[in-house]
């Protein structure tokens, strides 16, 4: 796991809610062993609710982190910048390193089809 993800506010909320949910589920199981059905039901449902909210916050944290990592690719930049391996930002080599069309989205060309506009 990256340090950015561990310090994300969504991840901190997810870990807190997950821990509280686990504690309440365990308390509900203890109430069931002591034959207290109302306490069992309330604590277990509350624990499951907190755990599911924790999973939702954790999914948001991971999704936002993935979105942040993919943003440079959508803008046509390299993940590490254009200065890698001796390529400068304005050079022709840097402009032709990445394909102009996304792979798999264009489909096959027909033999007699006109050229696609640029």
86-111 confidence digits (pLDDT tens): 455 555 554 445 555 555 555 555 56
Rounded (5°) CA angle 25-31-34: 150
- Number of DSSP helices (H) and strands (E) in the chain, helices first: 4, 0
pLDDT tens digits, 7-41: 888 999 999 999 999 999 999 999 999 999 999 99
Burial degree of 86 (CB within 10 A; 0-12, 13-18, 19+) = exposed
d(CA 116, CA 53): 48
Domain ranges of the chain: 3-77
pTM: 0.57
Q: Report CA Rg, the chain.
A: 25
């Amino acid at each position: 796991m990256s340090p950015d993800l561990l310090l994300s506010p969504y991840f901190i909320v997810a870990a807190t809610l997950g821990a509280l949910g686990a504690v309440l589920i365990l308390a509900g199981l203890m109430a069931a062993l002591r034959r207290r059905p109302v306490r069992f039901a309330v604590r277990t449902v509350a624990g499951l609710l907190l755990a599911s909210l924790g999973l939702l916050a954790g999914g948001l944290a991971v999704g936002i982190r993935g979105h942040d990592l993919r943003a440079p690719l959508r803008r046509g930049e390299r993940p590490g910048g254009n200065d890698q391996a001796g390529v400068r930002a304005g050079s022709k080599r840097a402009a032709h390193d990445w394909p102009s069309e996304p792979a798999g989205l264009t489909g096959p060309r027909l033999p007699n089809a006109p050229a696609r506009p640029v």
